[in-house]
Structure 1
């Protein structure tokens, strides 16, 4: 096969140096215009050397710093990224097909998360380990006690990321990892790897992180899991099918590599049974559903996929959502009148169309924006799918609608007959990242939150008094937990400093009072 020479090949950063693969690579395309952009390839790289360098050189350099020093390092990364924001927005438009406001969710969201952890890390000061709870007596004599501590794992953090958030997906993981003192190797999803690679390149070239602390490998993921050793960690965001492969890999199954998974999620929105068509709760739900269906063209792990309303409001909800979706113009994100851009690739376009066909075996089409012409885009080339609202009058009998996630601007409306049935239908998603509740009744909001908490990583409760300040059903904020049980992967990320637990090892130190007093001098901060 001839290697194209007219399309730039992005280098990988591994073992402390820039390296290009020896193969033809994969060409990344503009998802709207179909034009080639750059190539990515990692064939021929010495992965063992790269992982060892990160583990030994990068890890040692990071652990030599205090938490406060590493927090300052995160702050320096923030300044580098802020200085290059314009370039990142340009790449996002060309490689991800996103309009400016959607690019901001990814780019500025990632920078904000880094800044948050930089600020949080300042409070840890000169500590080099973290105390976990208070001392506990081992017997009647208080002279011998046990103190639990967290210390950074002496391994590397491998991130295998998804295509929808090439910026935020990197930094929401890297911020707590680097703050913890653990070097990072990121393998971005191939389709949108350009933005991740460029951000890492800018940070490396600025010299604000130690050698080996941050590496990027673009292209195939073959062989990456084979490099993992017992004290390494791996964090994956993507499909449940790939998650099963990762969990069954010998690194995890035999060498006990710590593993965090974020997979499929059929997130829900629930309207209070007491709501009316004229109520604020109804209007809030409609607005939030439309926003979640259209932001990033529905390509968010946290997007609303199922909408549950009282049966009496089924038709009114369909009409209200459809009326708002009809105003959403779709096409080339460079066009000033386009509100929603494209999916990230034609492959994802095909997946969404196939998924829609599957859902339609159990649902009716309540609104389909695809009958409208695209703005400044060729439907035969562009990976554009307009919003589609589906619905079923019999969600209890449905099966596919509670099992299949279509990763695009698609949601399904479902009526419920009583509160208990609504909770049961939501739980048929078998574990999700987030559910949102819309109500004006504090008692219902509290009841619904507790009913749904065990099957969701986050419950987002929206009432009129927080309408202007609430952060959004699908927006993942660094101070709140991100993850979910069951089919959502069972993982946990963010949640403030809780995220650092994944990159630390807990140990019990049993010693004299004097020895534990000395320990506090190097680990003064308590979880």
Structure 2
């Protein structure tokens, strides 16, 4: 076991540069820990449900003022936020590494996503278009207009601790909404840093940005429940486990609020006979092992055609033990730690169930990289004959279940035969196979890729569409409509009021 450099001084220096007041880092009940070393980085004060309610009320007041600001002007605030993120990119990425355990390149990539969505939203602020609709009545015109929705609640998970907020906040802000953010209890420090960067942008923007426009609530489940239950929050965007989504969704439905849910993935890929195996190997390895398998888009199930199974899986078995696992701050490391002890125990339980179902396991053992409170593991590859119950259950850890198939239709059916359905991919050079996979008869997931893995998404295309949650969509495309309400306006520019066929009313 190696003794790693302490994360505490680095974390506090980063927080200081990012604008977080050192006084709020001590004296509370919420321990902010680093999975890199297992150390406690700060003890934060948690908001009470009563404080959360007051903050939401203040955010609603901010929305009432913000909706009056022209959309292109609102885009200027997001442009300034993008500038602050560019200036702080390295520091915020390093803090993501310390608190979420991502390797440096992945931390930088996450902050780049924040910058990209700001750029996208700035352009969007001048493109909140509605349609002009032909009216059946003479001297009338119909049009649709899009109006701000209100307070948008954001509940984010540890695995993308800042990007998810930005996907929602950048669009919500240009749409005229206020934002209240409840981050994961496992990654509160990066949320504090992000909120400090927003405050810098708002100060540069000036008095048109009302107090309470972006609010951060540090706390646990009770704070999240206050956000979900508040009648002045018409939309809650929640990212996390399917168990969490099953609690959030019905509560929002009960008060007719909108739910934008991005939950578990249990994503699959298919390796066809014609696949470029060199490209496929890189794509599969990155998707399955990146971020220690802790992405909602991580590859968890792999269906390999029987004609290439031995050759391809043989290469995977060589690659898996050789992937560098270690301190994510170090150059050359590809796999950092699991987020905590619970994640490690869930992984070991899944591997036990896989062995009981006949699975042959390579890897999965604990890697002694740091002290007893840091949980590093070797990624696990499990060859299994069929989709046993454990294969259908998503474990948020670097486990890849590998299965053999003979007919493409069977592989697609097996891929679709789980409740989850966030992302998917096929590796093939056969045009017919590729087109079948992305057709209505193919993948039923929100993302269907060809010759790239299921992990990773560009902000220009709406992210998500998971079948289990009814198709939540964030980031690009027309997902901005989720953050607004649609109105149809009819204008009578004539001198009569048609009431029915051939009937008019004049005074």
TM-score normalised to structure 1 length: 0.83
Measure the CA separation in 2 of the matches of 1:488 and 1:315.
36
Q: Map Cα deviations across residues 146-196 of structure 1 (whole Å, 9 max, x no partner).
A: 32222111x200011111011111111111111111111110001111111
Residue in 2 that maps onto 1:377: 370
1:418 to 407, 410, 413: 407
Alignment partner, residue 359 of structure 1: 354
Distance 1:363 1:298, change over 3 A: farther
Indicate the residue corresponding to 2:194 in structure 1: 199
Other-structure match for 2:501 = none
Q: Which residues of structure 1 form unaligned runs of 5+?
A: 1-5, 12-16, 463-469, 516-527
Q: Deviations over 1:290-336 (max 9, x none)?
A: 00122111110011111111123222222111222232111222333
Q: Could you list the per-position Cα deviations for residues 383-404 of structure 1 after superposition, in whole angstroms to 9, with x for gaps in the alignment?
A: 1122111121234xx3331x21
Say whether the 8 Å CA contact 1:457–1:481 is kept in structure 2.
Answer: no
Please state how far the C-alpha of 1:368 moved relative to its aligned partner: 1.0
Q: What is the DSSP-based 3-state SS (H/G/I as helix, E as strand, rest coil) of the residue aligned with 1:164?
A: coil
Partner in structure 2 of residue 115 of structure 1: 119
Q: Which residue of 2 aligns with 1:246?
A: 248
C-alpha distance in 1 between matches for 2:29 and 2:44: 5
The more displaced of 181-190 and 342-351 is 342-351
Q: How far apart are the structure 1 equivalents of 2:494 and 2:432?
A: 51
Aligned 1:341-356 pairs, distance under 5 A:
341-356=336-351
In the alignment, which residue of structure 2 is the partner of 1:152? 148
1:448 counterpart = 2:437? yes
1:263 corresponds in structure 2 to 263
Partners in 2 of 1:495 and 1:134 — Cα distance?
Answer: 23
Which aligned pairs between 1:32-71 and structure 2 lie closer than 5 A?
32-44=36-48, 46-56=51-61, 58-71=62-75
Give the match's secondary structure for 1:191.
Answer: coil
Aligned with 1:166: secondary structure?
coil
Alignment pair present for 1:477 and 2:477 = no
Q: Deviations over 1:463-486 (max 9, x none)?
A: xxxxxxx6x531121111211333
Secondary structure, aligned partner of 1:456? coil
Structure 2 unaligned regions, length at least 5: 1-8, 16-20, 496-507
Change (3 A) 1:55 1:363: farther
Check the 8 A contact 1:187/1:221 in 2, yes or no.
Answer: no
Cα distance change of structure 1 residues 248 and 322 upon mapping to structure 2, 3 Å threshold: same
Q: Assess if the C-alpha contact under 8 Å between 1:48 and 1:227 holds in 2.
A: no
Contact 2:99–2:187, Cα closer than 8 Å, also in 1: yes
**Residue 458 (str. 1) matches residue 454 (str. 2):** no
Q: Which of residues 380, 384, 405 is equivalent to 1:388?
A: 380
The structural deviation recorded for 1:502 is: 0.7
Cα distance between partner residues in 1 of 2:229 and 2:437: 44
Indicate yes or no: 2:465 matched with 1:503.
Answer: no
Alignment partner, residue 82 of structure 1: 86
Question: Is 1:333 the counterpart of 2:328 in the alignment?
Answer: yes
Contact 2:179–2:214 (8 Å) recurs in 1: yes
Are 2:265 and 2:422, in contact at CA under 8 Å, matched by a contact in 1?
Answer: yes
Aligned to 2:5: none
Per-residue CA deviations over 1:405-434 (Å, capped at 9, x if unaligned) read: 111211111111212211110111234111
Cα drift, residue 349 of structure 1: 2.1
The match for 1:522 is: none
Taking the TM superposition and a 5 Å limit, the aligned residue runs for 1:98-109 are 98-109=102-113
Counterpart-to-counterpart distance in 1, 2:65 and 2:22: 19
The answer on whether the counterparts of 1:80 and 1:202 sit within 8 Å (CA) in structure 2 is yes
1:145 Cα offset (Å): 3.8
CA deviation profile, 1:464-511 (whole Å, cap 9, x unmatched): xxxxxx6x5311211112113333563121233x12111111122222
TM-score by length of 2: 0.86
CA distance in 1 between counterparts of 2:290 and 2:152 reads 30
For 2:469 and 2:228, locate their aligned partners in 1 and report how far apart those are by CA, in whole Å. 25
* Map 1:21-40 → 2, pairs under 5 A: 24-40=28-44
Shift of 1:454: 6.3
After superposition, the CA RMSD in angstroms is 2.8
